[in-house]
Chain A
Amino acid sequence: MKVTVLQFPGTNCEYDTKYAFEKLGCDVEIVWHEETSLPQGTDLVVIPGGFSYGDYLRSGALAKFAPIMDAVKKYASNGGKVLGICNGFQILTETGLLPGALKRNDNLHFISKHHHLKVVNNDNTFLQELEVGEVVNIPVAHHDGNFFIDNDGLEELQKNGQILLQYCNEKGENQILNGSVEQIAGVCNKEKNVFGLMPHPERAMEMLLGCDDGVKMLQGLLK
Chain B
Amino acid sequence: MKAIINIGLKKGVLDSAGKAAHHTLDTVGFKNIVQDVRIGKQIIMELNCTDESTAKEEAVKMCEKLLANTVIEDYDITIEA
Contacts and interface: CB of A to CB of B under 8 A. Distances in A.
A57 B67 contact: yes
**Main SS of the interface on chain A?**
loop
Contacts of B9: 103
A179 B67 contact: no
Nearest to A65: B66
B71 interface: yes
A57 B13 contact: no
Given A101-B72, A148-B72, A108 B16 contact: yes
B45 interface: no
A106 B9 CA distance: 13
B49 interface: no
B31 to A, nearest CB: 21
**Main SS of the interface on chain B?**
mixed
10 closest A-B pairs by CB: A101-B71, A101-B72, A106-B16, A148-B72, A101-B69, A108-B16, A58-B69, A103-B72, A104-B16, A148-B13
Given A57-B66, A61-B66, A94-B69, A104 B13 contact: no
Given A61-B66, A100-B71, A103-B14, 18 more contacts: A57-B66, A57-B67, A58-B69, A61-B69, A94-B69, A101-B69, A103-B9, A103-B72, A104-B17, A105-B16, A108-B16, A108-B20, A148-B13, A148-B71, A148-B72, A149-B71, A179-B14, A179-B16
B37 to A, nearest CB: 14
| Residue with the greatest number of chain A CB neighbours at <10 A, chosen from B9, B14, B20, B69 | B69
Interface string B52-81: 000000000000001101011000000000
Contacts of A179: 14, 16
Contacts of B66: 57, 61, 65
A222 B69 CA distance: 33
Contacts of A149: 71
A107 interface: yes
